[in-house]
Amino acid sequence: MAAMEEVVVEANWSIDRVYSFRSASRRSDSAQVIPITRSPTSEDTNYHVTSAANWGGGELNPQDAWLPITESRNGNTFSATFHLLCSGIGIQALLLPVALATLGWAWGIICLSLAFTWQLYTIWLLVHLHESDSGTRYSRYIDLAMTAFGQKLGKFLALVPVMYLSAGTCVQLIILGGGTIKLFIKTVCNDGANCDAKSLTNVECFLVFMCMSIVVAQFPNLNSIAWVSLIGATTAIAYCTLIWALSIGKGRPNGTSYNPPEMDDKMDRFGGILNALGIIVLVFRGHNVVLEIQGTLPLSLKHQTHKPMWRGVTVSYLIIAMCLYPLAIAGFWAYGNKVPSSNGGLLIAMSKFRHHDTSKIVLGLIYVLVVINCISTFQIYSMIIFDKLETSYTSRKNKACARWLRTTFRLFFGGMAFFAAVTLPFLGSLAPLIGGLTLPLAYAYPCLMWIAIKKPKPKSVMWCINVGLGGLGLVLSALLVIAAAWNLASRGLHANFFKPHGLDTVNHLDMVKTRF
C-alpha cells in the first residue's frame, strides 16, 4: 500500500511539473529558454508519469534528449567530481608564482585565498540555481542568464563570453599542448644529440595534438567522457605535484630574488598589480561548464541534483586547493621573479633552469602528463561548442543529428580551432585582456542572477552580499581590461601570425611587433 501511495505521489508531482511548465511558458518567454521543437503529446505525458527521467530527468524539453550536454542523465557524484577537477585544474595555474612575484608573499597568498573563496561561493550559487521552483532545469549557463536577465540582455551578456571562453580555451589548449609536445621532443632528443629535434615543426606539433583531441572527441555526450575526465584530473594532479616537489627538492637557482620587478613609473606599477590580480582570479576556471556538468546528474522527487553536485564541488575544490597553493608557494620560493610570464610559467622555468640537473625521464614524464591533461580538458570545453552546433541544427530540422553529421560538426570545429591556433599563436598574450571581459561569468553574473531569480529581500544579508560581490566583480573586470590594454599599448603585441614558436622561445626573430 505504501508503495502504491509513493507511485501516486510521484505521478502527481510529474503532472504538476508539466502544468507548471505550460503555465510558466504562457507567462514568460524566458521560462524555458531552449526552443521547444514540438509540443508534448499525451503519450509523452503518460510516459513522464511513469518515469521522471523522461525529457532529461526534469527539463521538460524533448530536444534535450538529442543534445550532447543533456543526452545522458546517468551521472553521479564521482563523474561530476572528475569533470570539475579536469576543467578546474589547468596549466594556467603554473603562472601563479608570477603573481606572487609582483604582490609579494603576504598579499599574494591573501589575494589567492580571497579569490578561491569568492569563486567557490559563486559556484554554490550556480549549483542551487540549476533547478527552478517550477521544475525547469537550467543545464546551460546561457539558459540561466536568459532566464535571469531576459532573452535579449541575457544572450548579449552571456552568449559571446561563454562561446569565446569555451572555444578560446580549446584554441589555447592546442597551443599549449602542441608546444609541450615540442618540448618533449627536444628533451628526448637531448637538443639534437640523440635524434633530430627539428623532426616536427611547431605547426606539425599543433596538428598532432589536434588529431589526438578530435579522435577522443567522438564520444557522444558529456556523461560518456567521465573516464576521460578522470584521466585528465589524475594527470593534472600528478604534474602539479611533480613540479612543486621538484622545485623544492632541487633548490633555488643562483641569483633568485623575491623583490618585485622594477617599474619606471607608478602607472606601470599599478598595471603590474592589476595583472597579478588577473592571474589569480583567472586561474580558477570552469564556471561556464558547472551547470552543464550538473545537467548530467539524474533528478527525481527524492533526489535533487544540488546535493550530489555540491559534494562533488567540495571534494574537487579541496583537491584543487591542494594543487594550487603548493604550486604558487613552492614555485615562487624556488624561482622568485625568474618565473617566465609567458605561456607555461613554471613549466618553462623547469625546462630552462632544471634541464641540466633533472632526469630526462622525469622531465619527459611531466610533458606527457601535461599533454594528456590538455587533451582531456579539450573534451569538456569543446562539448559546449558541439552542443551549440547541434542545438542550431535540431531547432531547424526538428530531429536529432545523424552520427555522420555529429562527426562532421566535430571535425569542422577541430579544423577551425587548429586554424585559429596556427593563425593566432600569440593568443596567450591577449589572455589578460579577453580574460577580463569574461571574468563576470565567474565572479559577477552568478550573484546578479541569484538576485534576479531568487529575489531576496532588499538589504537582507544575501541581497547585500550578492549586490556587493556582483558590483565588485564588474569593477574588477573593467580594471583588468584597462590594465591589459595599458600594457599592450606600452609594451606592444608580438603578433607572430602563422608563425607559432615554442613555449620556451622568447622574442622570436620572426615576430612582427605591432604597437597600439
Report angle CA 108, 111, 112 to the nearest 5 degrees: 85
Q: Give me the pLDDT at residue 503, please.
A: 67
What CATH number is attached to the domain comprising 168?
Answer: 1.10.4160.10
Q: Give me the pLDDT at residue 28, please.
A: 34
Residue 414 lies in a domain: yes
Q: Give me the pLDDT at residue 17, please.
A: 38
Residues 379, 225: contact at Cβ < 8 Å?
Answer: yes
Return the residue matching grid coordinates 594527470: 235
What's the burial of 342, exposed, middle or buried (CB within 10 Å: 0-12/13-18/19+)?
middle
Q: Give me the pLDDT at residue 36, please.
A: 33
Would the pLDDT of 29 be above 50? no
**Residue-range definition of the domain harbouring residue 143:** 62-491
Phi, psi of 130 (to 5 degrees): -60, -35
Average pLDDT over residues 451-477: 94
Range with the poorest average pLDDT among 344-358, 360-374, 482-496: 482-496
Average pLDDT over residues 180-192: 82
Phi, psi of 36 (to 5 degrees): -90, 125
Phi, psi of 131 (to 5 degrees): -110, 125
Residues 397, 378: contact at Cβ < 8 Å?
Answer: no
| Residue 209, number of CB atoms within 10 A of its CB | 26
Q: Give me the pLDDT at residue 312, please.
A: 96
Local confidence band at 200 (pLDDT 50, 70, 90 cut-offs): confident
Residue 500 lies in a domain: no
Would the pLDDT of 2 be above 70? no
Average pLDDT over residues 168-185: 91
Q: Give me the pLDDT at residue 375, please.
A: 96
Q: What is the pLDDT of residues 205-231, one digit of tens each?
A: 999 999 999 999 999 999 999 999 999
Residue 18 lies in a domain: no
DSSP annotation string for 462-507: HHHHHHHHHHHHHHHHHHHHHHHHHHHHHH-EE--TT----TT--S
Number of domains making up the chain: 1
Average pLDDT over residues 386-402: 92
Local confidence band at 388 (pLDDT 50, 70, 90 cut-offs): very high
Would the pLDDT of 282 be above 70? yes
d(CA 149, CA 128): 17
Looking at per-residue confidence, does 150 or 258 come out higher?
A: 150
Would the pLDDT of 110 be above 50? yes
Average pLDDT over residues 500-508: 54
Average pLDDT over residues 15-24: 36
Residue 83 lies in a domain: yes
Q: What is the pLDDT of residues 313-352, one digit of tens each?
A: 999 999 999 999 999 999 999 998 888 876 678 888 887 8
Average pLDDT over residues 106-128: 95
Rg (CA), the chain: 24
What's the burial of 457, exposed, middle or buried (CB within 10 Å: 0-12/13-18/19+)?
exposed
Average pLDDT over residues 55-61: 45
Average pLDDT over residues 454-469: 94
Average pLDDT over residues 163-186: 90
Local confidence band at 505 (pLDDT 50, 70, 90 cut-offs): low
What's 358's DSSP letter? S
Looking at per-residue confidence, does 186 or 237 come out higher?
A: 237
Would the pLDDT of 267 be above 60? yes
Local confidence band at 467 (pLDDT 50, 70, 90 cut-offs): very high
Average pLDDT over residues 391-400: 91
Residue 24 lies in a domain: no
Of 345, 291, 286, 293, nearest in space to 317 by CA:
286
Residue 42 lies in a domain: no
| Residue 120, number of CB atoms within 10 A of its CB | 15
Phi, psi of 234 (to 5 degrees): -65, -45
Q: Give me the pLDDT at residue 84, please.
A: 96
Local confidence band at 501 (pLDDT 50, 70, 90 cut-offs): low
Q: Give me the pLDDT at residue 81, please.
A: 96
Range with the poorest average pLDDT among 30-34, 101-105, 145-149, 267-271: 30-34
Alpha helices in 130-265 (DSSP H): 141-149, 151-189, 202-216, 226-249
Average pLDDT over residues 364-379: 95
Residue 248 lies in a domain: yes
d(CA 132, CA 107): 39
Q: Give me the pLDDT at residue 130, please.
A: 93
Residue 515 lies in a domain: no
Q: 124 is written with which cell numbers?
A: 554554490
Q: What is the pTM of this model?
A: 0.84
Average pLDDT, the chain: 81
Q: What is the pLDDT of residues 398-438, one digit of tens each?
A: 989 999 999 999 999 999 999 999 988 877 777 778 888 88
Q: Give me the pLDDT at residue 513, please.
A: 33
Q: Give me the pLDDT at residue 34, please.
A: 36
122-133 in b/e form (b: 16+ CB < 10 A) is: bbbbbbebbbbe
